[in-house]
């Protein structure tokens, strides 16, 4: 048999008959019923389901407060506002993330400063953060990339020493833990995302958890135009209809429709986490012996919630580029992806003056990484197909 013809991209038979995406929500009848019930009730925008959802997430992670937002991006914007980020302030963050992380700094007039990643775990490097600190540094935004927690002992120590606010972009990390403590209480504020490919979904949505009451109050005001209705804080105390806009906020409120779905999804979070961890374990067990790739490294002190499973190609052991291998896997109907293009590669950031070469480890990772499908709705057969597809494609391109 012609080896070239074995690959689907060259006319061979694909591993799968149908396309498997890299991520997908799991919505069941219980979820649908929860949303339909909300539609039948009096509140479909701001109502009781939002408080129920906030309570469910706060209790799960062990936080005192939780504030729901219309998206994870809106939540990050709110966190930067609550942290007091403004013009002239620098905020250190990772470039190995979605653009929303650093965009939230720009929204407040601050300047993103990109730290490099740990070359093994791919999370933001405390040593890189330390080397970037200046008198203008206001905050640090960590990114728990793929679901693996950042090195929080070192990062929180730096923050305390330099009086910095720490915001955790935990869009990937609901259910992850660091030294036995759930992500959601370690940083000053932690953001979770509820996009359809995340651990639970509300369609679009985000949330900030915190143990700081002052930050909590700022977040609540910010998501609703900066409007205050508390009679003890406004001037016209004798007018029951009166309210005051005391700061410039945004309409970043989550709806009850979204929140009711979130409440229902939270009931299934333990199952979702179990499946993600099981599938990730199967991937590693089957693929870690391939000399042409690197499977994800896991720190002993933390436990990933496995939003993403990425493999890193050893291109010196392959007779093909990352693009060729990516296309070959897609042709096998395996919906691989790439996470992420370093933020400062984007044209908008280039126009702001950021140059390539800022973060060598981040840039090297980007050139070599491929994301495999990983989501709870997958079946064991789906996982087997992905493993078979990776082995098939890597075997074809492997240096003999």
DSSP string, 276-332: HHHHHHHHHHHHTT-TTEEPPP--TTEE---S-EEEEE-GGGBSS-HHHHHHHHHHT
Check pLDDT > 90 for residue 376.
yes
Domain ranges for the chain, please list them. 3-24+269-397, 29-266
Tokens found for residue 202: 């509300």
Q: Tell me the catalytic residues.
A: 198
Mean pLDDT score, 362-385: 98
Check pLDDT > 70 for residue 3.
no
Tokens found for residue 390: 């990776």
61-81 pLDDT, tens per residue?
999 999 999 999 999 999 999
Q: How confident is the model at residue 124, as a pLDDT?
A: 98
Mean pLDDT score, 276-301: 98
Closest CA to 195 of 70, 358, 45: 70
Q: How many CB atoms lie within 10 A of CB 27?
A: 16
Could you tell me which CATH number the domain at 29-266 has?
3.40.640.10
Q: What is the CATH architecture of 3-24+269-397? A: Alpha-Beta Complex (3.90)
Q: How confident is the model at residue 233, as a pLDDT?
A: 83
Cβ–Cβ < 8 Å for 307, 146: yes
207-217 pLDDT, tens per residue?
999 999 999 99
Check pLDDT > 50 for residue 341.
yes
Is 29-266 in the same CATH topology as 3-24+269-397? no
Check pLDDT > 60 for residue 237.
yes
Q: How far apart are CA 54 and CA 48, in angstroms?
A: 10
pLDDT exceeding 70 applies to what percent of the chain?
99
Q: How confident is the model at residue 235, as a pLDDT?
A: 78
Phi, psi angles (nearest 5°) of residue 38: -65, -40
3 vs 293, more confident: 293
Closest CA to 76 of 28, 19, 139: 139
Is the pTM higher than 0.75? The answer reads yes
Confidence of residue 204 (pLDDT cuts 50, 70, 90): very high
In sign, the C-alpha dihedral spanning 135, 141, 145, 147 is: positive
Q: How confident is the model at residue 239, as a pLDDT?
A: 81
In sign, the C-alpha dihedral spanning 116, 175, 216, 179 is: negative
């Amino acid at each position: 048999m012609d080896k070239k013809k074995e690959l689907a991209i060259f006319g061979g038979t694909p591993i799968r008959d149908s396309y498997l995406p890299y991520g997908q929500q799991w919505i069941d009848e219980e979820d649908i019923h929860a949303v339909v019930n909300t539609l039948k009730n009096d509140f479909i925008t701001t109502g009781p389901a939002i408080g129920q959802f906030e309570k469910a997430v706060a209790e799960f992670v062990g936080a005192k407060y939780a504030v729901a937002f219309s998206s994870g991006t809106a939540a990050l914007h709110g966190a930067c506002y609550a942290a007091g980020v403004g013009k002239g302030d620098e905020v250190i963050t990772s470039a190995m993330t979605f653009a929303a992380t650093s965009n939230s700094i720009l929204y407040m007039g601050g300047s993103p400063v990109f730290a490099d990643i740990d070359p093994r775990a791919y999370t933001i490097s405390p040593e890189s953060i330390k080397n970037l600190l200046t008198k203008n540094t206001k905050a640090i935004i960590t990114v728990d990339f793929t679901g693996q927690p950042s090195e929080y002992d070192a990062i929180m120590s730096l923050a305390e020493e330099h009086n910095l606010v720490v915001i955790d972009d935990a869009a990937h990390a609901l259910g992850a833990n660091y030294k036995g403590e759930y992500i959601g209480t370690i940083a000053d504020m932690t953001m979770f995302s509820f996009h359809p490919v995340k651990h639970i979904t509300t369609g679009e949505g985000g949330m900030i958890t915190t143990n700081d009451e002052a930050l909590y109050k700022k977040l609540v005001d910010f998501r609703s135009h900066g409007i205050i209705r508390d009679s003890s804080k406004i001037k016209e105390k004798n007018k029951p209809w009166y309210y005051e806009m005391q700061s410039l906020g945004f309409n970043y409120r989550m709806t009850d429709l979204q929140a009711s779905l979130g409440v229902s999804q939270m009931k299934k979070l333990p199952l979702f986490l179990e499946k993600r961890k099981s599938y990730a374990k199967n991937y590693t067990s089957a693929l870690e012996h391939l000399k042409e790739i690197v499977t994800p490294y896991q720190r002993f002190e933390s436990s990933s919630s496995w939003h993403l499973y990425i493999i890193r190609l050893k291109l010196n052991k392959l007779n093909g580029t990352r693009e060729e291998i990516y296309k070959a896997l897609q042709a096998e109907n395996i919906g691989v992806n790439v996470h992420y293009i370093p933020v400062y590669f984007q044209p908008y950031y280039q126009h702001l003056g950021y140059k390539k070469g800022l973060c060598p480890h981040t840039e090297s990772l980007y050139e070599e990484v491929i994301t495999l499908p990983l989501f709870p709705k997958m079946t064991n057969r789906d996982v087997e197909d992905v493993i078979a597809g990776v082995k098939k494609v890597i075997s074809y391109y492997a240096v003999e």
